Amino acid sequence: MSASAGARSGATRPARGRRSRPQSAPSRPTRPMDWEEFLRGLVRRSLHASVRRACLEQKHITKNALSGNQGRRGFCDFLRRQYGTVLAGWRTMDLDQKGYLCFQEFCQSCREMLFDGDVRSLWRELACQRDFITLKEVCPEVARHVSAMKKARLERVKN
């Protein structure tokens, strides 16, 4: 018997026509996804705007449901609802971590977050004739806490 014949009859090779399946890790139980988690996933994956709009229309989310018509306060509520805190929402908007947003960055971030309010009027309210906004304009209380934390950290580093 030749070496090649022995290899053919060996038990280590799968039967012809069948491929061996890689063993996968045991699947963990998944919980059902709620609608807001689904929308956040869409934003994270940056799907095309028309797909996001179609999903919103399907679920009949209105502008009032997203607090879009309530100005700064409604926008802060929206950030809290979407990201848990205003600061987490701001950090999502300020991707390059400059500490401020121009109008174009603000509009793009609002679109990606599925903010359904009047972005221009919100910008006018927040920017007050300037070319950029900071966390201080969006939510002054949070900005005060953040600056106090930064000062405390600097004091700790100095000592």
pLDDT digits (tens, 9 = 90+) for 79-112: 999 999 999 999 999 989 999 999 999 999 999 9
Which domain range does residue 90 map to? 35-158
Mean pLDDT rounded to a whole number for the chain: 76
In a domain, 55, yes or no: yes
In a domain, 29, yes or no: no
In a domain, 3, yes or no: no
CA separation for the pair 122, 93 (Å, rounded): 15
Tell the burial category of 143 from Cβ atoms under 10 Å away from its Cβ (0-12, 13-18, 19+): middle
In a domain, 93, yes or no: yes
- For the stretch 149-159, pLDDT in tens is 989 988 888 87
In a domain, 149, yes or no: yes
CA separation for the pair 103, 56 (Å, rounded): 24
Q: Is the dihedral of CA 42, 48, 49, 52 positive or negative?
A: negative
Report the range of poorest mean pLDDT among 6-10, 20-24, 61-65, 69-73: 61-65
Instruction: Provide the domain count of the chain.
Output: 1
Note the residue count of the chain. Answer: 159
In a domain, 97, yes or no: yes
Choose between 5 and 153: higher pLDDT.
153
In a domain, 117, yes or no: yes
In a domain, 119, yes or no: yes
